[in-house]
Structures are given as structure tokens and as C-alpha cells.
């Protein structure tokens, strides 16, 4: 929760103090004034609780480059979408739509863009899954194979198979995002996958922590990653509060933010994660329902969400739609 202390209130306080001390034959020194201001700033910073914005990039060739996305300064996290095929004997396949052809090795050209993003403090994660559902985890073997593939191909490892290559070149991503919205197999295996991946933290030449995030649907608990979230291994959970009328914002006479806030309380109390994010479409056209106008977000939703110590910010789908409407630019100061 934000704790604001206005400059005018500081001036009033110091003026009153100066008048009182002059009445006693002394004056307020500059050092005393600076000490008072410093104290107030410390108190303010301790009470502040701001958020950040996460974005999905990769599913529309007209959304601009990855480097341009990060250069906006609007995003703290970029999820590369998606590794859309894996498990049940399938060869894992990265699909970045119109940006590059991973099968031919052309996506290795993103190495410089990823490095540029990371140099600006942006965390870049690989998102696995997506809405198409052409994936599954059906056995422990599936899990171990996928974990090893992700480590060697996108994280801090190196391909162990002869002739193996990294689809994004030498770039070492910051983690893996679980956007599991279907597929086959047993959802419980995603918890095993999380454990395998988190165990790689600190390993490899880079020695980086492997960050884990997930994008569950807002009905609690999520049927696909709910069990995985029970592991407590996830750093960020961006809950999709859209395309789910029972737990999303309803404009007009539809109840406003009531259903969303009820669901938010379930997520923040029921999931052990560093931070929970409000997942939204970046424009009305980005989803079937659930878009929140800027004014409503700032007045009805964000003030209530910030009361939770787990509030992390806002996740947006996707960069293409955000680029069309400028939603992140409009909300970033309020987030």
C-alpha cells in the first residue's frame, strides 16, 4: 500500500517547528531540517508497495521486435510465447509466429535482443504451453526429458546430444513460464517439472537462479497448474482474470470488481508465491471478455489489490494489443 507524504505537509511541519524554536530563543538548523525530511522519506519508502508489468511477446509478427518491446521501459518481464509442443514422445517445438522460424535455426538471431533486454533489467522467460494445447506430460520420463531439454536449450546448460543446438542461440533466459491451458497427460506432473527446473538454480556457467512463473485461469484452484502451485516453488503467478466471467471484472451493472476481488483474495491466501499479478487483456480485442478500462482499473481495482503484500503488478496479453492501444503506458504509473 502506498504511503504518500506531501511536500506541503513537510513544509508546514518544519515551519511550525521553526516558529516554536524561535520562541525559545533558538532556530531550526539546516541539519535538523534535513534529518527530519530524511526520516519522513524512510517512513514513506517502507510503506510503499508498487508493482510491475509483465507482457507476452511472440505470437504476432506485427508487434515489433523484442528489443523494441523492452526499450519502451514499460515491462519488467517478457514471456516468449510459446514452446507449444512437448511430451508424449513429441520433439519440443518453439513457435514464435511471424518473428522467426525456430525449426530452421533463425530464432538464434534473437540472442542480441535478449541480451539487450536483460541489460535493461528486464527478465526474459520462455513460456511453455499456450492455448493450442498440443502438449502433455504423461510420465516421469516426460518430465525429466522436458526439464533437461529446457535447461540445455534455453537456460544455463549446453546441449549434450551430438549436433544439439540452442533455438535462441547463446542467450541464457531467466526462467520458465507455465501457461498450461489444456493438453493431455496428468497435471500433477507439472509440479515435478517445477521441482526439476528449480533444482538447476545456481548451476551452469552463469550460475543464475531459475525463475518460475505460471498463468493460471482465475477460477480457483486452476485445473492444470493448481497442483504445481502447491509446491510453493513459483516466484510469480499472473492469474488470467479474463475469459472467465465468474471471476473477472464486469462493466456497467454487472457487478464491477466484486467477483474479481473475491477471486483475488482466494489466490493471494491460497497460493505460496512471491508475487501474484493481475492478468488482463491489453485491449478489448485481446480477449473475449475481461478488459478493464484504465479509469476503472485505477479507481476500483488496483487500490484493493495493493492491500496484499503479495501484489506484484499487472500481466498483459499481449505486446501486439498493447502496442495498438497503449494500455501499459496508460496504467504504468498506477501499477
Q: Catalytic positions, please?
A: 181
Distance CA 316, CA 323 (A): 11
Cell of 151: 535447461
* Segment 227-232 long-range contacts (CB within 8 Å, at least 24 positions apart): 227/187, 227/188, 227/190, 227/191, 228/178, 228/187, 228/188, 228/190, 228/191, 228/193, 228/194, 229/271, 229/272, 229/273, 230/191, 230/272, 231/191, 231/194, 231/195, 232/272, 232/273
Please count the CA atoms within 13 angstroms of the CA of 235 that sit on its side-chain side.
15
Distance CA 222, CA 264 (A): 13
The sign one gets for the Cα dihedral 331, 300, 309, 36 is positive
DSSP label at residue 288: S
Q: Reduced to 3 states, what is the DSSP secondary structure of residue 313?
A: strand
Distance CA 120, CA 13 (A): 40
In the numeric block, the cell 497435471 is attached to 187
Amino acid at each position: 500500500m502506498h504511503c504518500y507524504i506531501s511536500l506541503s505537509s513537510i513544509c508546514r511541519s518544519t515551519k511550525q517547528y521553526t516558529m516554536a524554536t524561535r520562541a525559545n530563543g533558538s532556530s531550526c538548523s539546516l541539519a535538523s531540517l534535513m534529518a527530519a525530511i530524511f526520516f519522513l522519506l524512510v517512513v514513506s519508502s517502507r510503506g510503499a508497495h508498487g508493482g510491475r508489468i509483465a507482457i507476452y511477446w511472440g505470437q504476432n509478427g506485427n508487434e515489433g521486435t523484442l528489443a523494441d518491446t523492452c526499450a519502451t521501459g514499460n515491462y519488467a518481464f517478457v514471456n516468449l510465447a510459446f514452446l507449444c509442443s512437448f511430451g508424449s514422445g513429441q520433439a519440443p517445438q518453439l513457435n514464435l509466429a511471424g518473428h522467426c522460424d525456430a525449426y530452421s535455426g533463425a530464432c538464434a538471431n534473437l540472442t542480441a535482443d535478449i541480451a539487450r533486454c536483460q541489460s535493461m533489467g528486464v527478465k526474459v522467460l520462455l513460456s511453455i504451453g499456450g492455448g493450442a494445447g498440443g502438449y502433455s506430460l504423461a510420465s516421469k520420463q516426460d518430465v525429466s526429458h522436458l526439464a533437461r531439454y529446457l535447461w540445455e536449450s534455453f537456460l544455463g546448460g549446453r546441449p549434450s546430444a551430438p549436433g544439439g543446438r540452442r533455438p535462441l542461440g547463446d542467450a541464457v533466459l531467466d526462467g520458465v513460464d507455465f501457461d498450461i491451458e489444456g493438453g493431455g497427460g496428468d497435471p500433477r506432473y507439472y509440479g515435478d517439472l517445477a521441482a526439476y527446473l528449480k533444482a538447476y538454480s545456481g548451476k551452469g556457467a552463469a550460475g543464475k537462479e531459475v525463475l518460475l512463473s505460471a498463468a493460471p485461469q482465475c477460477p480457483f484452484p486452476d485445473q492444470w497448474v493448481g497442483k504445481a502451485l502447491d509446491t510453493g516453488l513459483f516466484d510469480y503467478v499472473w492469474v488470467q482474470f479474463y475469459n472467465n466471467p465468474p471471476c473477472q471484472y464486469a462493466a456497467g451493472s454487472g457487478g464491477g470488481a466484486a467477483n474479481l476481488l473475491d477471486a483475488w483474495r482466494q489466490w493471494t491466501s491460497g497460493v505460496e508465491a512471491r508475487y501474484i499479478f493481475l492478468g488482463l487483456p491489453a485491449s478489448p480485442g485481446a480477449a473475449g471478455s475481461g478488459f478493464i478500462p484504465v479509469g476503472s482499473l485505477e479507481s476500483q481495482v488496483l487500490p484493493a489489490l495493493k492491500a496484499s503484500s503479495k501484489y506484484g503488478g499487472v500481466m498483459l496479453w499481449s505486446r501486439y494489443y498493447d502496442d495498438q492501444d497503449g494500455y501499459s503506458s496508460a496504467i504504468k504509473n498506477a501499477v
